[in-house]
């Protein structure tokens, strides 16, 4: 059974329907990639999962339906959503940002987790007492990722992590992501425009078009399939 399963999900904003029929599954320990053009509904899909918008259909996480739950409740179940724009707490320091990630944990290992992520992202360690809002886009993205990881999530939802980042930084980011998945078993659902990098670390890919899944398949195959690439992925 998949860790996350969406069946016939519809949703949108008020009177505007964006998602028409989304069937999607993410296996535990996999990286699932959702691609598609602007407006296709990628971000909306993530929002539906994390409970930020009203949705219909079935959203099942680890055997339990999470449809209709509030974002706080979904987060507490172990789903960490890194939104577009990164969701940085700009007036707070880097370290405070990270602590917020772990705010609902009751184990005593928060300190050691902080140290761990500081060593993975040394630039964050350098700036730990700095106001988070003063960091560059790339650093804030790293911060968002580390913050999400501080909650020790079972599933990580990432919305366009490469947006606004320089290519080198993006590469580094995806390398980290791949490492977390391969060596630490993190399950990831990543929405991306940068199909290349995403599919490289991915296991399964979906291509969204106008609120529906147009194509899906093994990530490597999608990456290599010329027809798919030309039609949907633009390269």
Tell me how many degrees the CA angle 203-208-213 measures, rounded to the nearest 5: 85
Q: Which of 30, 81, 127, 223 binds other proteins (CB under 8 A)?
A: 81
| Token output for 115 | 């140290």
Shortest reach from residue 177's CB to other proteins, in Å: 18
Report residue 109 CA to chain centroid gap.
24
Q: Is 18 in the site for other proteins (CB under 8 A)?
A: yes
Distance CA(77)–CA(171), nearest Å, equals: 30
Instruction: Give least dist CB 108 to other proteins, A.
Output: 13
Beta strand 204-209 with 212-218 is antiparallel
Binding mask 150-179 for other proteins (x = CB under 8 A): -x-------xx--xx---------------
Which residues 6+ apart lie within 8 Å of 151 measured at CB?
A: 75, 78, 80, 101, 102, 104, 105
From the list 75-83, 116-124, 214-222, 226-234, the region that binds other proteins by CB under 8 A is 75-83
- The site for other proteins (CB under 8 A) is made up of 12-18, 38-40, 42-44, 47, 50-54, 70-72, 75-76, 80-81, 83-92, 96, 99-101, 103-104, 131, 133-134, 136-137, 140, 147, 151, 159-160, 163-164, 210-211
């Amino acid at each position: 059974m998949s860790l996350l399963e969406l069946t016939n999900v519809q949703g949108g904003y008020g009177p505007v329907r964006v998602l028409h029929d989304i069937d999607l599954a993410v296996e535990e320990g996999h990286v699932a990639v959702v691609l598609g053009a602007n407006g296709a509904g990628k971000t909306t899909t993530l929002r539906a999962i994390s409970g930020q918008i009203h949705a219909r259909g079935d959203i099942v996480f680890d055997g339990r339906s999470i449809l209709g739950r509030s974002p706080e409740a979904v987060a507490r179940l172990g789903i960490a959503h890194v939104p577009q724009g990164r969701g940085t707490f700009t007036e707070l320091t880097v370290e405070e940002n990270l602590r917020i990630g772990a705010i609902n944990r009751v184990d005593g290992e928060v300190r050691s987790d902080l140290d761990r992520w500081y060593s993975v992202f040394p630039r964050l360690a350098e700036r730990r007492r700095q106001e988070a809002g003063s960091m560059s886009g790339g650093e804030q993205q790293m911060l968002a990722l580390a913050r999400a990881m501080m909650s020790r999530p079972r599933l990580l939802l990432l919305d366009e992590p490469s947006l606004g980042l320089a290519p080198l930084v993006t590469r580094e980011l995806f390398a980290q992501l791949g490492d977390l998945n391969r060596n630490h078993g993190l399950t990831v659902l990543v929405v991306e425009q940068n199909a290349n990098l995403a599919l490289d670390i991915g296991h399964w890919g979906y291509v969204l078009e106008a609120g529906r899944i147009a194509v899906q398949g093994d990530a490597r195959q999608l990456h290599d399939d010329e027809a798919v690439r030309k039609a949907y992925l633009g390269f």
